């Protein structure tokens, strides 16, 4: 049995789909099993990652777990329940070992706990996700101009579909135990490149408007705690991390090239064509 946490999120949903119908049964951890639709054969169980002591029923009979970062005590609870292998989602900033950075701190803590308690582990440090483009939906519903922070920062954007494929192999291949994997997409793009591609896919003339650092900070502080805003500025303004590097990880592990941002946009185009009203 494989347990997938965050089973309805961008990564978890792709992983559940990829594992469904495989050689091992799949259990999806969700808040309310009655409100989710999962692939045939996947068992939905309720659970709260912020309360590790409540996860015993979800962990019963589980061999391996896909674990989201930022939930202290869950890896320890999984080990206590007899879980043999944890595939831990993390991020590239964990490698900086800068505990003063709020994002890095919880990534590091998640990695430390899984390596301390799990009998076997694999850590995934992906770069930025293609699905981050969905945050532009409100602006695209309002018009054809998209305002973006950090306009000069390139990222080797990764489709969660490819991250899920790497995780599937991590569960299956004993040689990937004890490894830290760095999946990326196949190309390094600026925000303006992404918006241009998205415009071509949607048949719209989209314009990318780069925000100054001052504008970006003010905009982000409306919805994000200051310590996380500071973390992102350290990443992308101070240049503490470099997500522009294209790595061969996905192809080496899965045997095929990762999807491009254009492919991701074509697959998810309908999400951008919604006008936000009920049909």
CB 147 within 8 A of CB 234: no
| Residue 275, pLDDT score | 55
Q: To which H or E segment does residue 260 belong?
A: none
pLDDT tens per residue across span 123-176: 999 999 999 999 999 999 999 999 999 999 999 999 999 999 999 999 999 999
H helices within the chain, ranges in order? 10-19, 56-59, 74-80, 102-117, 137-142, 160-172, 191-202, 213-221, 226-236, 249-254, 261-267, 269-273
181/66 Cα distance (integer angstroms)? 14
Residue 274 has pLDDT above 70, yes or no: no
| Residue 81, pLDDT score | 94
User: Token pair of 177, please?
Assistant: 């135990």
For residue 60, the 8-state DSSP code is T
Query: Could you tell me which of 71, 97, 95, 75 has the C-alpha nearest to residue 84?
Result: 75
97/104 Cα distance (integer angstroms)? 7
| Residue 246, pLDDT score | 98
101/227 Cα distance (integer angstroms)? 8
CB atoms inside a 10 Å sphere around CB 247: 17
């Amino acid at each position: 049995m494989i347990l997938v946490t965050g089973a309805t999120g961008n990564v978890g949903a792709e992983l559940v789909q990829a594992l469904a119908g495989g050689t091992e049964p799949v259990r999806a951890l969700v808040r309310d099993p009655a409100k989710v639709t999962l692939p045939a054969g996947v068992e939905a169980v309720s659970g709260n990652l912020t309360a590790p002591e409540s996860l015993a029923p979800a962990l019963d009979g589980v061999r391996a777990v896909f674990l989201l970062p930022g939930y202290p005590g869950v890896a320890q609870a999984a080990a206590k329940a007899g879980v043999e292998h944890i595939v831990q989602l993390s991020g590239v900033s964990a490698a900086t070992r800068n505990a003063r950075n709020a994002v890095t701190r919880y990534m590091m803590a998640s990695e430390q706990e899984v390596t301390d308690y799990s009998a076997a582990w694999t850590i995934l440090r992906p770069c930025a996700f293609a699905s981050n483009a969905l945050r532009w939906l409100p602006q695209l519903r309002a018009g054809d101009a998209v305002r973006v922070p950090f306009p000069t920062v390139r990222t080797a954007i990764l489709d969660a579909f490819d991250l899920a494929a790497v995780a599937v192999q991590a569960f299956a291949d004993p040689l990937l135990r004890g490894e830290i994997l760095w999946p990326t997409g196949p190309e390094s793009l600026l925000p303006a490149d992404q918006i241009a591609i998205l415009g071509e896919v949607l048949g719209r003339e989209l314009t990318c408007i780069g925000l100054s650092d001052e504008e970006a900070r003010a905009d982000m502080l409306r919805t994000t705690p200051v310590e996380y805003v500071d973390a992102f500025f350290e990443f992308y303004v101070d240049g503490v991390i470099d997500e522009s590097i294209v790595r061969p990880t996905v192809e080496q592990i899965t045997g095929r090239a990762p999807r491009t941002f254009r492919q991701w946009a074509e697959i998810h185009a309908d999400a951008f064509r919604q006008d936000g009203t009920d049909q």
